[in-house]
């Protein structure tokens, strides 16, 4: 690979024998999900778009857990737009399963935020999906990327980055 080519984000290994116990998910925010019929196709397998929905729900709940209510963020004129996503399906989720969507913010650079995700079994023994998402803060009124994050949002994000760096 030449020095000019962009590199792909690194995700955990993808072999079917990998177990989430090989990764340190203990300090990640956990969002429980149950697979209902409307999440699946006629074979009872989760439709791929639902993973993105669950990841967004987990991210919104993670932010809420540190005092950032998404409704208040929108009231400040800020939205978080996905600008990059990398998703790997390790094994299928099926109707009736209970899983945890694990997430954490890995870093904030200016108005850009990077998040990691792992969807794992509730007992932590199976890894179903891994992902990386990059968001930018968007000025809702102008539809353009903000120059800086709203102060209250930036202060709350410091809490989450401090938690993950200790």
What residues contact 127, with CB distance under 8 A and at least 6 apart?
A: 12, 18, 19, 20, 23, 90, 91, 118, 119, 120
Dihedrals phi, psi of 111, to nearest 5 degrees: -105, 10
CA separation for the pair 104, 117 (Å, rounded): 7
Q: Is 41 a catalytic residue?
A: yes
**CA distances in angstroms from 143 to 47, 78, 154, listed in the order given:** 30, 10, 20
Which residue in the list 41, 69, 98, 155 is annotated as catalytic?
41
Q: Which residues carry out catalysis? A: 41
């Amino acid at each position: 690979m030449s020095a000019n080519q962009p590199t792909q984000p690194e995700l955990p290994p993808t072999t079917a024998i990998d177990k989430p116990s090989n990764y340190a998910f203990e300090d990640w925010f956990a969002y429980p999900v149950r697979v209902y019929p409307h999440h699946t196709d006629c074979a009872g397998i989760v439709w791929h778009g639902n993973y993105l929905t669950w990841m967004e729900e987990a991210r919104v709940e993670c932010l809420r857990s540190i005092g950032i209510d998404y409704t208040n963020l929108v009231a400040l004129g800020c939205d978080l737009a996905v600008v990059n996503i990398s998703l790997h399906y390790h094994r299928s989720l099926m109707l009736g399963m209970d899983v945890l969507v694990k997430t954490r913010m890995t870093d904030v650079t200016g108005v850009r935020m990077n998040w990691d995700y792992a969807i794992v079994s509730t007992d932590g023994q199976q890894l179903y999906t891994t992902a990386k998402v990059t968001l930018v803060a968007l000025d809702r009124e102008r539809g353009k990327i903000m120059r800086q994050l709203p102060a209250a949002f930036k202060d709350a994000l410091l809490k989450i980055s401090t938690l993950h760096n200790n």
